[in-house]
Amino acid sequence: MSTMTMPARLAALPRDHQVRLALKLDAVVTGVNGAAYLVAAAPLEDLLGLSPALLRGVGAFLVAFAAGVWVAATRAELSRSALAAILGANALWAVGSIAFVALDAGSPTTVGAVWIVLQALVVAGFAGLQVLASRSSS
């Protein structure tokens, strides 16, 4: 039986596997979030204070982005340019989400504003994880 902790096990993986795992995690969480916006846009309107049209548009984008991230993560050759584009998109999403709340764009409810900020932090976390994985030495 191994006594390695989960972070130690992840660090023991080859760099390529770490990056792919980080990308796949990003793709799954992003895809589920996007699907929820597509399927439950109307019920989420009251909770988040955002229009169903906005939620559906964001949901469609997130599902498409998740599919692209998954494809990049599963290609035989992991493209540096694809990884850079994903990192850039994640950073832009995180900053844009914070700006959306700060500017009171869309007039989200308090719950909606908290959700958007939490979502921005998760996306920034994915970007950080992907950067760390891509820079780790194996």
Q: What angle do CA 58, 102, 44 make, to 5 degrees?
A: 40
- The predicted-structure confidence for 57-81, as pLDDT tens digits, reads as follows 999 999 999 999 999 999 988 888 9
Identify the domain containing residue 81 by its residue range. Answer: 14-135
| Helices 52-74 and 80-102: angle between axes, nearest 10 degrees | 160
| More confident of the two residues 2 and 21 | 21
Q: What is the pTM of this model?
A: 0.87
In a domain, 21, yes or no: yes
Residue 103 lies in a domain: yes
Q: Does residue 121 lie in a domain region?
A: yes
Count of structural domains within the chain:
1
By the 10 Å C-beta count (0-12 exposed, 13-18 middle, 19+ buried), 107 is classed as exposed
Measured between alpha carbons, how far is 124 from 115 in angstroms, rounded to an integer?
14
Pairwise CA distance, residues 112 & 41, whole Å: 13
Q: Exposed, middle or buried: residue 118 (CB in 10 Å: 0-12, 13-18, 19+)?
A: exposed
Residue 104 carries which DSSP code? T
Q: Is the pLDDT of residue 1 over 60?
A: no
Q: Tokens 């992907």 appear where?
A: 130
One-letter amino acid for residue 38 of the chain: L
Say if 2 falls within a structural domain: no
116 in any annotated domain: yes
Q: Residue 117 is encoded by which pair of tokens?
A: 């900020």
In a domain, 44, yes or no: yes
Lowest-confidence range among 10-14, 25-29, 46-50, 83-87?
A: 10-14
64 belongs to a structural domain: yes
Cα atoms found within 13 Å of the Cα of residue 1, Cβ hemisphere only = 1
Is 50 within the bounds of a domain? yes
Is pLDDT at 138 greater than 50 in this prediction? no
